[in-house]
Amino acid sequence: MKTTQIFPYPISQIVVKIGLILLAIYLTNVGVINKFLYFISLKKYFSFSVFLIIWASALIAIFCTAFNPDGKQRFFWGSLFVISTFGGQLYFAITGEQLSYDAIGVLWNARHRPEDALFFWGKNLIYPALASIFLFISVVIIPPFIKRGRNWILFISPMVPLTMIALTVYKLGGFVVAGLPAQFNTLSTAILFSLTPAQILKKNEVKISLKHKAMAKHIVLIIDESVHGEFISLKGNLNTTPFLKTQQPSIVNFGLALSGNNCSSASNAILRLGANPATLGHEHHHLLSSPSIWKYAKKAGFETTHLDAQMTKGRLVNFMNSVEYELVDHFIQIENVDYHEKDYEAARVLENLLKKPEPQFIYVNKRGCHFPYEHMYPAHKKIFTPCMAPNEPILNKEHLLNSYKNAVRWNVDGFFKTLLPNMDLTNFIFI
């Protein structure tokens, strides 16, 4: 009678595969030991136990997948491990932080131009890509050295750590948990994000009553994204904003301020939706229920316009949804012009809007100085050199700063140079 060996290959080959998998896990996870030590030092033994169980289930699931004799099942989970690992590693390589639930929301909202990020952060792809490929080879490509049929326990085992991580992230309200297994963390958090319905609360009405007529006929709020305040040269010799420097008598300069968020999407949302430091985190207050800026403008008797120089074809950005969209009287997007001309066209559209007799509140979302900076100005407007070449990765700080200064001079100073000379500012306020 012929018997089938479970391990028809030398044990050494299995040991090598196990070693390579452990090395791949080590190379693609950061802060794990420190997280364990953190729990022990603060005597958080329950958290330590949960963390340990998650990691144990993750390791078991990875090895169950790696030694699954069914190649299709091994490829399915192995590919998901690689996607999760690569996404988390790439985010960490760029930001130095673990990918969180909120970060996935911001990335999803800014998904429209991934090629910009690819060119700008291209060099950061190398280590995550190589580490993820090494993981794929060790888990999927190297054979399991086991000859048996399909085993559904092996196939569904990764569902255990996926579910545990999702429940942990959900229980903590989306806060990032450093040190969770990268092979599951990004994937689990992304699945949780996709299954969580968007929260659309009913907006409160404005409770402030009008006591006198508006002191300005038109109010314009200009959001100039990715512009560092120290590059607005009103007094120094930086020469990035020479036109604005000549306009100092008309400018009230409040100095530098901190942005509400390190991503323009969330910063825009904070400005529009009425965040107030006095109510943030208050038990009986929810930010999304605050009256939006559109409701305040309407209450003050202004016609509202959203002038968008970023998106086209009606796509909403910066967390604007259909409910907020309906509050705006006029929604205008700059179409059919080159990227470095969008702000100039926005200035011309704004000039025409301000000729209307009705009181206007206009929210201008400029293209600004987003990366890649060398795409934000024409090739013949390289005032500051040497600067970055098109699609050049960040390798030279001098090139980077000169490209950024060129972008500020073209898109910031040029915008106001196009707009202000033709404006009678007597009854206008530009913020």
- Which stretches of 286-340 are assigned E, i.e. beta strand? 303-308, 330-333
Task: Give the tokens for residue 409.
Answer: 């001079």
What size, in residues, is the chain? 431
The mean of the pLDDT values for the chain is 84
Residue 395's pLDDT is 77
- Lowest mean pLDDT of 60-64, 226-230, 301-305, name the range: 226-230
* Angle, CA 63 vertex, CA 62 and CA 64 arms, to 5°: 90
Residue 389's pLDDT is 85
Indicate whether 1 pLDDT > 50: no
Return d(Cα 396, Cα 60) in angstroms, integer: 44
Residue 4's pLDDT is 47
Q: Cα 371 from chain centroid? A: 13
Indicate whether 34 pLDDT > 50: yes
Residue 184's pLDDT is 92
Q: Taking the CB of residue 71, how many other CB atoms lie within 10 A of it? A: 12
* Fold type of domain 218-430: Alkaline Phosphatase, subunit A (3.40.720)
Return d(Cα 53, Cα 55) in angstroms, integer: 5
- Lowest mean pLDDT of 216-225, 268-277, 298-307, name the range: 268-277
Indicate whether 63 pLDDT > 60: yes
Between residues 41 and 391, the one the model is more confident about:
41
> What mean pLDDT do residues 57-73 have?
92
Domain boundaries, the chain: 11-195, 218-430
Of the candidates 267, 428, 270, 409, the residue with the CA atom closest to the CA atom of residue 359 = 428
**Percent of the chain surpassing pLDDT 90:** 33
Residue 222's pLDDT is 94
Q: Taking the CB of residue 22, how many other CB atoms lie within 10 A of it? A: 14
Sequence-distant contacts of 69-78: CB under 8 A, at least 24 apart = 69/144, 69/146, 69/147, 69/148, 69/149, 69/150, 69/151, 70/149, 70/150, 70/151, 70/154, 70/155, 73/150, 73/154, 73/155, 74/139, 74/140, 74/144, 75/140, 77/155, 77/158, 78/136, 78/139, 78/140
Residues 105-142: pLDDT tens digits?
777 766 665 555 666 666 778 889 999 999 999 999 98
- Which stretches of 21-162 are assigned E, i.e. beta strand? none
Return d(Cα 20, Cα 407) in angstroms, integer: 47
* Burial label, 94 (beta-carbon count in 10 A; 0-12, 13-18, 19+): middle
Residue 234's pLDDT is 84
> What mean pLDDT do residues 242-267 have?
85
Indicate whether 6 pLDDT > 60: no
The helix/strand/coil state of 222 is: strand
Residues 393-423: pLDDT tens digits?
777 889 999 999 999 999 999 999 999 987 8
Alpha-carbon separation of residue 364 from 16, 113, 226 (angstroms): 60, 20, 14
> What mean pLDDT do residues 94-114 have?
72
Sequence-distant (6+) residues with CB within 8 A of 339 are: 367, 375, 376
Is the pTM of the predicted complex or chain greater than 0.75?
no
Residues 283-310: pLDDT tens digits?
666 666 778 899 999 999 899 999 999 8
Between residues 428 and 276, the one the model is more confident about:
428
Residues 146-203: pLDDT tens digits?
776 567 888 999 999 999 998 888 877 656 667 889 999 889 888 888 887 666 667 7
Indicate whether 2 pLDDT > 50: no
Task: Give the tokens for residue 149.
Answer: 């049929």
